[in-house]
Amino acid sequence: QIRAFTSWARTVSSIAKEKIIPIPSAYTKPSNNTQRKERQILLAKSLQTALWTADVAETFEASFFFGIPYDRSLVKGKEVLFPLPDKDFDASEFSIPWRALRVSGVNITIATPSGKQPIPEPYVLRPSGVVMGQLGASFDVLQFWAEISESEEFQNVISYEDINPDAYNALHLNGGHAPGMREYCGSELLQSKVAKMVERGIPIGAICHGTLLLARSKGEDGKSVISSRNVTSLPYFMEKAAVTLTSLKLGSRYYSTYDIPCATEVASLLDSPKQFQRGPLSGAEATLFDDTNAWVVVDNNIVTARFPGDAY
């Protein structure tokens, strides 16, 4: 529906003079269903007088689905780095932040060890999921991924070696669990560049094993660059459940990226294990239309999340 909506908007823009949607001054990010309904009414009244253009369509999508402020000038043209392994990363944890930033006008750079196009973990993108219809990508992620594969940034991937830590305004650290993630989480070159970006104080988002990469990145004092921060990552109960669910089909090692659980290692690199926030004992996921179940930890400029269900 989003793709069709944007396509229609572009058609209209070719024959209509651009107009800016008059945004109600009462607009605030909704925190409950009542406020969401009120926002929809305000939007409907505003849109009655607007002609749709591609830019307007993306502004609408950015705000309505991703909760991003209407004034995209605050972020438009900013540079965000998405480092990935050559293969086996989680497509959902990449696609959702990618789409949210893309419709906000942000420029995205993808980096891999080889500088070649990355390949996501294959089972996640199958309609049947990883096993018994579980752990797979949602329908909207499948749509996003189809668009990503045609994007300019996907055609112009750089290598870890070519990353300039001073060239980016923000950093997104993806997660994943399959064996290919080890070259990403264990790359000392990437860790050194991540550490420099943390030192700059730019906004950083990390999800799942992305927090492990962040925790392994060392500062000049030899400690983790997030040793004093409150963070989360893939919690043990989720990792254990996924290993159990997939072990018969894929083997016990497939979902265990390392012998030590992700959460255990991350917590060990903090000043205190209490800084690690496990989150609720629930696997409920947020969706494109409702982010109620998303759970993240925000510590100043660093935002960390647990699994694909938190990506929205």
Between 1-10, 60-69, 283-292, the lowest mean confidence (pLDDT) is in 1-10
Q: How is residue 213 written in tokens?
A: 């990469």
**Per-residue confidence (pLDDT) for residue 43, from 0 to 100:** 57
**Per-residue confidence (pLDDT) for residue 67, from 0 to 100:** 59
Three-state secondary structure string covering 106-157: CEEEEEECCCCCCEECHHHHCCCCCECCECCCCHHHHHHHHHHCCCHHHHCC
Instruction: Give pTM, 2 decimals.
Output: 0.78
pLDDT in tens, 93-123: 999 999 888 888 899 999 999 999 999 988 7
CA-nearest of 217, 225, 208 to 299 is: 225
Q: How far is CA 191 from CA 19, 84, 247, in A?
A: 45, 12, 30
- Cβ(101)–Cβ(80) below 8 Å: yes
> Which residue stretches of the chain are H helix?
2-13, 33-47, 54-64, 91-102, 139-148, 152-155, 182-185, 188-200, 210-216, 236-250, 262-268
Q: Is the pLDDT of residue 234 over 90?
A: yes
User: Could you tell me which residue, 58 or 144, shows the higher pLDDT?
Assistant: 144
Residues 157-162, mean pLDDT to the nearest whole number: 98
Residues 259-287, mean pLDDT to the nearest whole number: 93
User: Could you tell me which residue, 251 or 84, shows the higher pLDDT?
Assistant: 84
* 203 φ/ψ angles, rounded to the nearest 5 degrees: -60, 135
pLDDT in tens, 5-24: 454 445 444 444 344 444 44
Q: How is residue 306 written in tokens?
A: 């647990």
Label residue 214 by pLDDT band (50, 70, 90): very high
User: Could you tell me which residue, 171 or 309, shows the higher pLDDT?
Assistant: 171
Label residue 232 by pLDDT band (50, 70, 90): very high
Distance CA 42, CA 127 (A): 37
User: Could you tell me which residue, 254 or 29, shows the higher pLDDT?
Assistant: 254
Sign for the pseudo-dihedral over CA of 21, 25, 31, 35: negative
Report the relative pairing of strands 79-83 and 119-120 from DSSP bridges. unpaired
Q: Is the pLDDT of residue 251 over 80?
A: no
- Domains along the chain with CATH numbers: 2-64 (no CATH), 79-310 (3.40.50.880)
User: Could you tell me which residue, 30 or 166, shows the higher pLDDT?
Assistant: 166
Buried b (16+ CB within 10 A) or exposed e, 99-131: bbbbbbbbebbbbbbeeeebebbebbbeeeebb
Residues 179-194, mean pLDDT to the nearest whole number: 96
Report the relative pairing of strands 302-305 and 296-299 from DSSP bridges. antiparallel
CA-nearest of 15, 242, 207, 13 to 136 is: 242
- Cβ(121)–Cβ(88) below 8 Å: yes
**Per-residue confidence (pLDDT) for residue 100, from 0 to 100:** 85
**Per-residue confidence (pLDDT) for residue 22, from 0 to 100:** 42
pLDDT in tens, 198-208: 999 999 999 99
**Per-residue confidence (pLDDT) for residue 154, from 0 to 100:** 94
Label residue 56 by pLDDT band (50, 70, 90): low
**Interaxial angle between packed helices 33-47 and 54-64, expressed in degrees from 0 to 180 and rounded to the nearest 10:** 170
Q: Is the pLDDT of residue 65 over 80?
A: no
